[in-house]
Amino acid sequence: MRRSLAWLAAARVVVLALILVSAILVQSGSGAGAEISFLYRLLGAAILLSLFHWTVGRRLPARPSAWTQILGDLAIVTLLVYSSGGPDSVFTFLYLVVIGIAGLLLQRIGAVVTASIATILYGSMLELVAYGVLPVPPLGVLLEWTGPRVRYNLAITVVGFLGVAFMVAYLSEKLVTAREELVHRQKALSRLQHLYASVIASMSSGLLTTDSYQRVTFLNAPGGEMLGLDPSAVTGRYLADLHLPFPCDWDSIRRRARGREPYRAETELDRAGIRRVLGYSLRVLEGAEGDEGTLILFQDLTEVKKLESSARFNEQLAAVGELAAGIAHEIRNPLASISGSVQVLSNELTVGSTERRLMEIIVSESNRLSGILEEFLRFVRPQERRVALFDVATTVTEVMDIFRLSDEVSDAHAIEVDVMPVSSSLSGDRDQIRQIVYNVAKNAVRAMAAGGTLTVTGREDDGAYTIQFADTGRGMSPDELSRLFTPFSTAFDDGTGLGMAIVRRIVEDHGGTIGIESRPGEGTAVTIHLPRDARAREAAEFAAVPMGVAG
């Protein structure tokens, strides 16, 4: 209401000023000498009324201030109508304007009361002019305004005033009701938007929407983090320009996603050298005007895939473990008998060089098969860990010094060891740590058949010790990488396929993790993280066991 009163105060001055300017222009154009000095006085009265609103009226309550303005306007309009011709004035319609403003500001009561006051003022002015109580207006001509005609004119005016009052009051009430309903709906919409924003903000999944032209309309913060994008920077850009791993055949995908079940698939994303597996579902969004957009909901499945791989690995171990005892009895004892028998025959019989060579092959292959069996049994039935505090940095250096002298390393191989600090303690089984260092280094050198460089680094890293083996060998394909820890799966002709499986088992038994990064032709990097404090690790493992299970 106060904003409306401010506009009313300004409009009052502007209207009277325009009337004054128009009268001056008409007077100068026609050459008539009509008296218009009263307009100056009315303009001054309007300015005073507006100044009253801008000063004293600001301190008054809204409704009293509005009534002051409305009554003042009625007085000014009455004087204007009388001075501009009385019954013949062309400004009588301004009463209707004031009634309309009163209805908008003060609703039904304001409109009816204002119309009544306007009727009294206008009717009194007509009666007083018609019966000669008031002088003839300066611009008016009294043309036989008899009593009946005055009453007829007054009746028509009253009907018009009251009709406009009720009509404006009705529209004003409708406007107030619509405004209240709009405010209510805005609040409901605001609450709904806040709820949706809270739900989307609390989501751990990524959410991306596009319009019918495949321009991004929204990307939430978790989705931007997964995709390596700034949500505010991608809004409005075409999805194809962002080089995302989502499908490009949108027409086919959208047709399949029109059904009740969304289109689901998995894809891989490589950002800044970090590979992620994303699972996503796609739905078609239908707008109110028939335009279609797309909603893509996606999750980072990298850890889930690792857990699935670990679960499959453990299932394989369980299956292998069931066969271990039978294999040990069925192969180990006959193998020892065969080897011993051949050695006895070789010592007691006089045989030629060819026969003796064949016997040596039998013994050699028997020993080799026995070694595979021993390694297999060590994998499925690992020795009990002898946990003690030892210097892991020194151990890595010693193992690599010994490894340099082994038959696997040739002159074409370069071994670089970078251990910092030179001494670092770790709680674990020293012999098993030596075994994983030797096995990983041996695999790295085998991958560099034509020569290359193996770099072994050791670092303390936030309560853990990290050992990394980086070679410049042939690298591995994604398929080879997925089968790296699978028992009896090897890329080397003379390998058993158990070395890396044993390494993984030892690392996991120590509460550590092992990660592999490899590309064909670019080499391989094996990173092993080992917790330095075995007691803290065992306490955390015990705390994770549900009550009733640990005992």
Least Cα distance to 401 among 435, 429, 431, 438 occurs for 438
Least Cα distance to 535 among 543, 524, 523 occurs for 543
**Alpha helix positions (H), 55-135:** 62-83, 93-130
Angle between the 37-54 and 2-30 helix axes, to the nearest 10 degrees?
Answer: 170
Per-residue pLDDT of the chain (551 residues; tens, 9 = 90+): 777 777 777 777 777 777 777 767 766 655 555 566 666 777 777 777 777 777 776 777 878 878 888 888 888 888 888 777 776 677 778 888 888 888 778 777 888 888 888 888 887 887 777 767 777 666 555 445 556 666 777 777 778 887 888 888 778 778 878 888 899 999 998 888 888 878 877 788 888 888 878 888 888 888 888 888 888 888 888 877 877 777 656 666 666 655 556 778 888 877 666 778 888 888 877 765 656 778 888 888 888 887 887 777 777 766 766 666 566 656 766 777 777 777 777 776 666 677 777 777 777 777 777 767 666 666 555 556 678 899 999 999 999 998 988 888 888 999 999 999 989 999 998 888 998 999 899 989 988 988 899 999 999 988 899 999 999 998 888 888 887 877 666 666 555 567 788 888 888 888 899 999 988 888 999 999 999 875 545 444 444 443 333 32
The angle formed by the CA atoms of residues 117, 120 and 123, to the nearest 5 degrees, is 145
DSSP 252-291: HHHHHTTSSSPEEEEEEEEETTEEEEEEEEEEEEE-TTS-
The CATH number of 388-543 is 3.30.565.10
CATH topology for 205-300?
Beta-Lactamase (3.30.450)
- The size of the chain, in residues, is 551
Spell out the domain ranges in the chain.
2-180, 205-300, 306-380, 388-543
| 223 CB neighbour count, 10 Å cutoff | 24
